[in-house]
Structure 1
Amino acid sequence: MLISRLPGTYVNLLIETIEEWGISSEEVLAETHITFEDLQKKYWYVDSDVFIQLLEKSVRLTGNAAFPILMANKMKVSHYGNVGIAAMSSKNLEQALRVLEEFIGLYCSVFKLRLEIEGEKAFLYLTHMLGESESTNKFIAFLVASFANIISKLIKTESDIFFLKQKQLFIDNNFAYKFEQVTDTVCFDRELLNIHLETADEIVFKLAKKQCIRDTDKHIKSRQTKSIIRSQIIELIKISLIQKNIGQLNLSEVAKQLNMSSRTLQRYLEIEDTTFKALIAEVKKQYAEAMLIKNELSIQEISESLAYADVSHFSRAFKNWTGVTPKAFRK
């Protein structure tokens, strides 16, 4: 989720595509640490920077600027392992996209999917935390086009995808592909969400989704992931405090900033036996103690900076944290 990784199947797909130009995997993978054994694994991961470099190299070797889109046309939802199985066995397109929205972070930590319905249109937003560059734009074009292709294959609807310059909108039949810097979108008619999937299987869906939940729990239980998530939550709360909008900070906004679903973040908090409210209180306590020791702000000013409506509310909260009032602590 927070470690910069992508599914290794992206590399397998890249190799499969570039071999059509007679270019060997050895030439493409030269100067990387990816081995032939890696390519044979069922599930493996590649650093996002490495994959973006491989995509850029592939465009250069083939001399075809449309390579990311041609590669995206080969993408299948099954490339996402158990998440893909759960999506394929969903009853309709909306359920499939909700599965991808919730669990895609298991395989891809650098972007997040969000399905929204606005009027008669549905939008699958792809948000990412990558900077803007020509190489990154190629990668994002690949992602947006690949999810458009996945949608087409799930509902058995043909839709051609053409290579576009970034920030250009292309509409073909019921689909639109919009490329932007931070939020990229696949747009299609809302009614397509209700289409029954030919691959729907309720039993398989339940089993696959349970496995996705187990995989998520296993991932966020790892010591490294827990440490990263906790430190980033704390950092976001501190930033919100500095920007004086801690009163408006909520779990949904933090999940968005961490590039994960609210459910996944909530699951992490449950595993850690804590709450979002408790973490906010932890940061507020540390800040209040530091400010009281520094003795530059009045208790009233500290209370206001922590978004308390009344200084008495702050005093009560501080006493719950420390066992003494702010006034007694300052003495």
Structure 2
Amino acid sequence: MRNARRSFLHWTLAATVAGTGTFGASLAHAQADYPAAGKTIRLIVPYPAGGGTDIIARSLGAELGQNLNATVIVENKPGASGMLGNTLVAKSPADGYTILLGITALIQAPAVYPKVTYQVSDFAPVSLIARSMDVFMVPRSSGITSLKDFIAKAKADKGMSFASYGNATSSHFNGEQFKRQAGVDLVHAPYAGSGPEMAAVLGAQVSSAFVDATAMSPHLKSDKLNFLAVTGTRRHPSLPNVPTFGELGFKGLEANGWFAMFVPAKTPQPIVDKLSAEVQKIVKTPAMTKRLADMGLMPAGSTAKEMAEVIQKDTPHWAGIAKTANIQID
């Protein structure tokens, strides 16, 4: 963990130094020549085609290729909960031609898997693309309309459950953190993704669920659900009347999920900055902003330094929950 934090500070310092113009002329030349004519940029998605990460990568990749006057090819490299694709990028040449579209699991995996084939410090952040959050919901048939009511019922009924979209996912972490904060004992019901999890709560097969906002979005007007709270520090734009856990007095549920771009750690800073500037412009266009919002996400488009700060803050947060709740994957 200490090595990772030192790397985060290195990212922040490198970004600051680059901004002052004290980097050598050779690095400035690297930025000017990037990308080289005829050179293909690979945008690696560590998950299967058709999912949210893939959709974002293909939308972003098309615009990035046009802006850079280069060929950007999206390659899906699923496997080992994203670690296969993550590792591929971590071990690639640090020249800006292999890019990762990563998610929060990138920094969560080292805390829960006994063997991870990369380190978080193997990556240099480029930009935070979008934030996500988990929505805590219950079947409307339960009659529960507030978090206070849910906690009271959970304390009286020891058989209640919370669903997640998988073991050692953000929803699992958030569920365990909520249990500890609320002093309730809920049975964890992990599902193989947000789709099956959403079906379970719609069918009242579970008492409650932490559902990713992307999977929740198509069901905003469902008469089968009651939304009780959201993770993160801001209310979801589509659920303005649903408070955050923080507003309700609960701590440790402030971290958002995220989608972000990374390159191998030793990529020259001018190349990182050039990619970051392009991603920021793309994310902030009306078309991309709408596309991300329609997915239930909160568009960001940050600098490399800002994304490094997110990682620096979030990594110990998730690791702490994993340790306290003993979340481990064999």
- Please identify which structure carries the higher strand content: 2
Which interval holds the TM-score relative to the shorter structure?
under 0.3
- TM-score normalised per structure 2: 0.24
- Please identify which structure carries the higher helix content: 1
Larger Rg: 1
